[in-house]
Structure 1
Amino acid sequence: MSAENEVRQFIVAADDDGIRLDRWFKRHLEDVSFNIVSRWARTGQLRVDGARATPGDRLVQGQTIRVPPAEPVKPDTVKVKPDRPPLSDDQIAFMREMVIHQDASAIVLNKPPGLATQGGTKTHEHIDGLLDALQFDLEGRPKLVHRLDKDTSGALLIARTSRAAAFFSKSFSGRTAKKIYWALVMGVPEIEDGIIDLPLAKQPGTGGEKMHVDEKEGAPSRTRYRVIEAAGNKTAWVELQPFTGRTHQLRVHMAAIGHPIVGDGKYGLQEAFLTGGISRKMHLHARRIRIDHPDGGKLDATAELPSHFAESMKTLGFDLSLGDWIPLDDGPVPPTREQKKAMGRAHAKSVRKERRGERGRRRG
């Protein structure tokens, strides 16, 4: 019997600890499609430590994966991945100049405004395409674990290993990662410390490139904002902490309460620009990120402002020393409106029950 017809066995490595079984196949056996993995699971051919497995099962380091013999692949279905062109010395230097933190599992970049995180239509230069510059002493290619809008600057986390990528992704999806953004907004919010709780959805007719508040179909979206300092009544410097991670969330939320981010013409239109020599670039910056580290402890990184933002702060007379004393919100995430309503109904029900009991005791 040839090796192609034999059952294969693989040991889960430390780098794959915690990932889904279907993701393991995507990493190590790219020729095996998700449909094949699902069929093997349904028929009991796919096993982990001797037990039947499903594509969504999480793997643990040291487990043994039993994989059925490889299936023949039709020549016309084979997808050939194009080779990435080697990076130039200038591109490598450009990427490495962004690094503000580096350890065995993670890299944090201070992404400049105007550079996309990932590629797309008409987007050819982006962080994802330049990650080969950040391999340093490791063989594996670094991996994106979250993203920033093209015109948003600041702290961007990169995982150096597959294990770290899985760990960080779980932190972001579980919302244990803490992020602080700085922004300049038009006008000054009357409430200096508030929660914006407005559901967001893709705006119809924009091809998914624009979001809007949608009370009926939108996904729950919550942002905390705090006014740090105001310049008269024309603009304010605010700190933003997103409790959810919707596309364009901070930009849509601030525009929705009447205070669009300075330079954000997409959501603030012509009302989002200041005169007096203030840059027309967007003034939204990922100032700080703090997240559990896969090797223990916390990763806590702070990114300096880009030049246009720093110049605007100076022109408007804002005192940078006022910004970083505000602590990250480590308290519980504020309840949504639906949760508040449910708590109110539960409270009302308990009050009615107590009153019925009291009336019963009086009659007795």
Structure 2
Amino acid sequence: MDLLSRLLHRDGLMLIIDKPAGVAVHRGPKGGASLEDAFDQLRFGLPRPPALAHRLDKDTSGCLVLGRHRKALERLGRLFKSGRIGKTYWAVVEGAPVGQEGEIDLPLGRLDATRGWWMRPDPLGLPARTSWRVLGGSPDNALTFIEFTPHTGRTHQIRVHAQAMGWPILGDPIYGSGRREDSAPLHLHARAVSVPMQDGKPPVEAVAAPPEHMRAGLARCGWNGEAQP
């Protein structure tokens, strides 16, 4: 796997790469290939490869932040935990929301301890908050192009929130209708990230182009390949 061609940002503290869809970020309990296996390509002279500062789901593409050494990872960990890192996601969802923007404030808990990290709305769960705005839609209202901004970092947060609102993400094999072998891949993309890594300096920002498998759905919703406002 060539990660050098997917590098979006590099400095002495961190890297930001454009994660491909369909690849797990780290090896799971059942083993198998993962993105971490290729991190040695990204040492750039340091004695050790970078490490994950956060996670993206296997089927989610886009901006992934890596710390280049222990102190950088500690700093990034604090920033993610405190919610200071800005994250923007693009998704194509099934159906059409009522309105053009809003906020989903819906606590999340584990669906079932035997089902791994599957989540569900749970009034006794952990707080979870996501803002959204419509960027486009198909003429028949079958699909909508939405920008999501998560303000908390719960597992599968955007996917569960979208399902709970009645417009699941296209191709979602867990929370949507993408359970058939011939279904579309997950249409969720980590579009941009903003990292205030050093106090007193502008945040580091990176933007990732949407993956090939999302482009037809985005085009149906009016996206013309240019950056959105």
User: TM-score of the superposition, structure 2-length normalised?
Assistant: 0.92
Alignment of 1:213-362 (within 5 A): 213-215=121-123, 217-232=124-139, 233-269=141-177, 280-294=184-198, 296-321=201-226, 323=228, 325=229
* Residue pairs, 1:112-191, within 5 angstroms: 112-191=20-99
Cα distance in 1, alignment partners of residues 189 and 78 from structure 2: 24
Query: 2-side partners of 1:297 and 1:228: how far apart?
Result: 27
Which structure has more helix as a fraction of its residues?
A: 1
DSSP-derived class of the 1:266 partner: coil
- The amino acid across from 1:311 in the alignment is A
Give the whole-Å Cα distance in 1 for the aligned partners of 2:171 and 2:52. 27
* Cα displacement (A) at 1:137: 1.6
Q: Distance in 2 between matches of 1:107 and 1:322?
A: 23
**After the TM superposition, which segments of 4 or more aligned residues of structure 1 sit over 6 Å from their partners?**
none
Residue 155 of structure 1 deviates from its aligned partner by 0.2
Aligned match of 1:210: 118
Larger-gyration structure (1/2) = 1
* Counterpart amino acid of residue 215 in structure 2: A
Distance in 1, matches of 2:36 and 2:146, equals 30
Cα pair 2:117 2:155 within 8 Å, conserved: no
State the secondary structure of the residue aligned to 1:172. Answer: helix
Q: What secondary structure, in the 3-state scheme, does the structure 2 residue paired with 1:268 have?
A: coil
Where structure 1 has 5 or more consecutive residues not aligned to the other structure, the ranges are 1-90, 326-364
- Equivalent residues in 2 for 1:72-151 (5 A)? 91=1, 94-151=2-59
- Displacement of 1:204: 1.6
C-alpha contact 2:137 2:220 (8 A) present in aligned 1: no
Structure number with greater CO (CA < 8 Å, separation at least 6) is 2
RMSD of aligned alpha carbons: 2.0
Gaps of 5+ in 2: none
Listed one character per residue, the Cα deviations across residues 298-354 of structure 1 (whole Å, up to 9, x for unaligned) are: 11000011111123323554234462x2xxxxxxxxxxxxxxxxxxxxxxxxxxxxx
Q: Aligned residue for 1:63?
A: none
147-156 or 183-192: bigger deviation: 183-192
SS in structure 2 at match of 1:313 = helix
**Residues 233-262 of structure 1: per-residue CA shift (max 9 Å, x gap):** 111000000000000000000000000000
Q: Is 1:230–1:237's contact at 8 Å kept on the other side of the alignment?
A: yes
Take 1:182 and 1:206, find their aligned partners in 2: how far apart are those partners? 30
TM-score if structure 1 supplies the norm length? 0.59
Aligned-pair CA distance for 1:134: 0.7
Q: How many positions carry a matched residue from both structures? A: 226
State the distance in 2 between where 1:302 and 1:126 align.
23
SS of 2:174's partner is: helix
Deviations 1:155-205 (A, max 9, x none): 000111211111111110110100000000011100211110111011125
In the aligned structure 1, how far is the partner of 2:217 from the partner of 2:135?
A: 15
1:283 partner amino acid: H
Q: In the alignment, is the contact (CA less than 8 A) between 1:228 and 1:322 conserved in 2?
A: no
How far apart, in 1, do the equivalents of 2:162 and 2:92 lie?
Answer: 10
Q: Is this contact kept in 2: 1:101–1:107, CA < 8 A?
A: yes
Alpha-carbon distance between aligned partners in 1 of 2:114 and 2:217, rounded to the nearest angstrom: 31
CA contact (8 A) 2:172 2:185 kept: yes
